[in-house]
Amino acid sequence: MNSPRAHDLLWGLPLCALPEDAPQWAHQVVASGQPVVVRRAACADGWVAVGLRGLSRDQRLGTQMRLADIQRLQSPEALRWRAPSPWPALQALASVAPVLDTTGLAWGPTGGVGYQLATETGVLHLASDLDVVVRTPHPLARTKARELLDILDCAPCRIDVQLETPAGAVALREWAGVARRVLLKSPHGARLVADPWAAWGCAA
Per-residue pLDDT of the chain (204 residues; tens, 9 = 90+): 678 999 999 999 999 999 999 999 999 999 999 999 999 998 999 999 999 998 777 899 999 999 999 999 999 999 988 888 999 999 999 999 999 999 999 999 999 999 999 999 889 999 999 999 999 999 999 999 999 999 999 999 999 999 999 999 999 999 999 999 999 999 889 999 999 998 665 433
Q: What percentage of the chain's residues is helix, strand, coil (to nearest 5)?
A: 25, 25, 45
116 occurs within a structural domain: yes
**Which residues does the annotation mark as catalytic?**
129, 131
Task: Kindly state whether residues 47 and 64 are assigned to the same domain.
Answer: yes
Predicted pLDDT at 202: 47
- How far apart CA 76 and CA 107 sit, in angstroms, is 7
Task: Kindly state whether residues 47 and 144 are assigned to the same domain.
Answer: no
Residue finishing a domain among 23, 54, 74: 74
| Crossing angle of the two packed helices 88-101 and 111-119, in degrees rounded to 10 | 100
- Of 179, 181, 176, 173, nearest to 199 (Cα)? 181
Q: How many residues does the chain have?
A: 204
Predicted pLDDT at 6: 94
Residue finishing a domain among 31, 59, 74: 74
Task: Kindly state whether residues 68 and 84 are assigned to the same domain.
Answer: no
Number of domains, the chain = 2
Task: Kindly state whether residues 112 and 57 are assigned to the same domain.
Answer: no
